[in-house]
Structure 1
Amino acid sequence: MLRLDPAPATMPPGERLYAIGDIHGCATRLAALHARIAEDFSARPVERATLLHLGDYIDKGEDSAGVLSFLSDHRRPEGLEAVFLTGNHEAAMLAALAGGAGDVADWLWCGGRPTLASYALDPGAGPATWAGALPAGHLAFLRGLRRTHRAGGYFFTHAGVRPGVALEQQSAEDLIRIRQPFLSSEARHGAVVVHGHTARAEPEVRHNRINLDTAAWSGGPLTCGVFEGDRLGFIFG
């Protein structure tokens, strides 16, 4: 049985949200985690359930193509609504595919080479060749990603928020890339921010934020936070 501990915010009655941290090409582990989420949902039905992914589906790990195939084919546990947020790695990939020389170099440096390898594409071939070879469904998925999601007392986004700025006024860049001063801030942001982007050995739960990036691509677990009522639990893949 899933252990549920007191949480720093609450979800509306009858709702549960499963939120998965940074995946980074770990396709097999993503499928296994989805299966564990399905088992929990089957064992503990609820009126409304949402499965949210916090972004950074690609790069670093060995099977980014497999992750995008799995997600773009809408494979998810039956009965769960799906929400997909964007991360900085998706933004970097789309910028590189648009062809800017600096954007190409940045993406290859930050983890794009393993992504291209997962499609059997040559890093030296260039963005026009890459874009033409990528599945249309994968590109449509990447271009349709959202930046934020609200549920109860929680605000979900990839990287975090800038302290002192209203949630509805956050910049697109901060939402997918910020670290400091967000990570060290003790400020209340108007909601508890649930994020990834900054890898830790285990989930971080603080009064104003929850971090679900546990470095799956480099040997840590793939983490799903389970939010319901005034409780919080974790499922690992």
Structure 2
Amino acid sequence: MLRRLFNRAPKVAPVAPPPVPAGLPAGRVVWAIGDIHGRLDLLDRLLSAIVESDPVREGTRPVLVFLGDYIDRGANSRGVIDRLTTLADDPAFETHFLKGNHEDKMLEFLDDPTVGAAWCDYGGAQALESFGLKVPVLKHRPEGWASLSSDLAHRLTARQKAFLESLEYSVAIGGYFFAHAGARPGVPLDAQSDHDLMWVRGSFLNSETRFERVVVHGHTPADEPYIDHRRIGIDTRAYDSGVLTAVRLEGLGHSFLQAVAQGEGDIVVRPWSVSVAA
């Protein structure tokens, strides 16, 4: 009996594969776009600037990775969804649309109206307004949320719903891994849970643990983009700051581009420089 116990193979924790050099294969250009949150005006201006910066050439297709949180808080969630569904059909680009925690909550509300109050507390009310709907006056009455969930399901077109239900949780390209929120340290990137990819925050941001690839993410807003040896964060609080950020990745290099709201409907595009954190 003792011999059998001692001869048992010890449990071995999963080991992440060796790091992939941060960079992209020759000829590949990737743009990652941060949290849009209903700011169709900023999105349209930023997309125009991206096309101007990287015009489509024969035999090349720029890659556009949208990091999630297309809806809530800003004024035009519905318009953003429509714009992205149109872009998905554009053969000039390779597109990847990731699911953010806000899309996750909207879809959950369609299946379970009881989460409506929680969703609306952090931006869902603005998304509903973009579909011509309003939060129930009597928030404590479950029948009001059930009716609203049904109304939203009817206002969503088949194309819009198909887009929301087809969102990816992550995508890996070259030495980069794209996810809405980030990834849980100590877990290989290909073993991350869907929940962590959409919702993780403190354990990811505060860790020094490197992943197999550099993680490009949104979800956690900051006044300016962030980059270090393990992650690139590009959520610059577009719904509130009026600044929507994209990062351009090519070869071993990177650069940032921002659409910035100024004054009465005026939007300018500017490059942004940020030092790599130690």
Question: Which of 85, 97, 105 is the aligned partner of 2:117?
Answer: 105
CA distance in 1, matches of 2:254, 2:70: 23
Q: Give the unaligned 5+ runs of structure 1.
A: 1-7
Give the structure 2 partner of residue 160 of structure 1: 182
Identity of aligned residues (%): 42
CA distance in 2, matches of 1:9, 1:46: 24
Q: Cα offset for 1:115?
A: 0.4
CA contact (8 A) 1:14 1:46 kept: no
Deviates more, 1:125-134 or 1:60-69: 125-134
Give the structure 2 partner of residue 128 of structure 1: 150
Give the structure 2 partner of residue 56 of structure 1: 69
Secondary structure of the residue aligned to 1:18 is: strand
Q: Cα offset for 1:64?
A: 0.4
Deviates more, 1:120-129 or 1:9-18: 120-129
CA distance in 1, matches of 2:51, 2:135: 37
CA distance in 2, matches of 1:207, 1:200: 18
Give the structure 2 partner of residue 148 of structure 1: 170
Give the structure 1 partner of residue 102 of structure 2: 89
CA distance in 1, matches of 2:56, 2:79: 28
Q: Cα offset for 1:184?
A: 1.2
Q: Cα offset for 1:171?
A: 0.8
Larger Rg: 2
Give the TM-score taking structure 1 as reference length: 0.92
Give the residue type in structure 1 aligned to 2:200. I
**Alignment RMSD:** 1.8
CA distance in 2, matches of 1:222, 1:48: 23
CA distance in 2, matches of 1:223, 1:136: 30
Q: Cα offset for 1:35?
A: 0.2
Give the structure 2 partner of residue 139 of structure 1: 161
Give the residue type in structure 1 aligned to 2:170. T
Cα 1:56/1:95, change in 2 over 3 Å: same
Cα 1:198/1:108, change in 2 over 3 Å: same
Give the structure 1 partner of residue 23 of structure 2: 10
Q: Give the unaligned 5+ runs of structure 2.
A: 1-20, 137-146, 260-278
1:123-146, Cα deviation, whole Å (9 max, x unpaired): 224211211122221111100000
Deviating above 6 A after TM superposition, structure 1's stretches of 4 or more consecutive aligned residues are: 43-46, 75-78
CA distance in 1, matches of 2:88, 2:178: 21
Deviates more, 1:124-133 or 1:214-223: 124-133
Give the structure 1 partner of residue 42 of structure 2: 29
1:114 aligns with 2:126: yes
Q: Cα offset for 1:78?
A: 6.4
Q: How many residues align structurally?
A: 229
Higher RCO structure (Cα 8 Å, ≥6 apart) = 1
CA distance in 1, matches of 2:31, 2:72: 23
Question: Which of 226, 238, 244 is the aligned partner of 1:216?
Answer: 238
Give the residue type in structure 1 aligned to 2:125. R
Cα 1:122/1:164, change in 2 over 3 Å: same
Q: Cα offset for 1:165?
A: 0.5
Secondary structure of the residue aligned to 1:226 is: strand
1:25-53, Cα deviation, whole Å (9 max, x unpaired): 00011011100000011299883420110
CA distance in 2, matches of 1:157, 1:128: 30
Question: Which of 53, 68, 84 is the aligned partner of 2:81?
Answer: 68
Give the TM-score taking structure 2 as reference length: 0.78
Give the residue type in structure 1 aligned to 2:48. A
